[in-house]
Amino acid sequence: EPEVTQTPSHQVTQMGQEVILRCVPISNHLYFYWYRQILGQKVEFLVSFYNNEISEKSEIFDDQFSVERPDGSNFTLKIRSTKLEDSAMYFCASSEVGWKGSTDTQYFGPGTRLTVL
């Protein structure tokens, strides 16, 4: 069964460093998402992406964050200058359809645990 994959599974970085989290969505999906989950807290939406542009973003997704689909398979989340409070699990998700359909199940990857020291 196709699945969303993410790399790395765990990333440790120093405060102020840039990190890039990578995701490979399910191949026929057109909509891509990033969520994060701070330890012990709820899952929070960051950004959605369709047709090579951001279609929706939350207030968490500030200028330090950016997303890119550099090729036909990868979808990346970049944090330019990490802060301690960026430590969290970051989940990528993809769906076949987006807001135009009500059956837009989002399939999540296993997550990348980001630790900022």
Partner 1 sequence: SQQGEEDPQALSIQEGENATMNCSYKTSINNLQWYRQNSGRGLVHLILIRSNEREKHSGRLRVTLDTSKKSSSLLITASRAADTASYFCAIKSGYGQNFVFGPGTRLSVLP
Enumerate binding residues for partner 1 (CB under 8 A): 31, 33, 35, 41-45, 48, 50, 55-56, 58, 89, 91, 93, 98-99, 102-111, 113
Which is closer to partner 1, CB of 13 or CB of 50? Answer: 50
Which is nearer to partner 1, 8 or 16 (by Cβ)? 8
CA 107 to chain centre: 12
Nearest approach in angstroms of CB 53 to partner 1 is 13
CB neighbours of 66 closer than 8 A, spacing ≥ 6? 77, 78, 80
Task: Give me the residue label for tokens 């709820």.
Answer: 42
Residue found under tokens 């929070």: 44
Report phi then psi at 60, rounded to 5. -70, -35
Beta pairing partners, 114: 11, 88
Query: Closest CB to partner 1 among 17 and 41?
Result: 41
Instruction: Provide the minimum distance between the beta carbon of 16 and partner 1 in the complex, in angstroms, as a whole number.
Output: 26
Minimum distance from CB of 20 to partner 1 (Å)?
A: 19
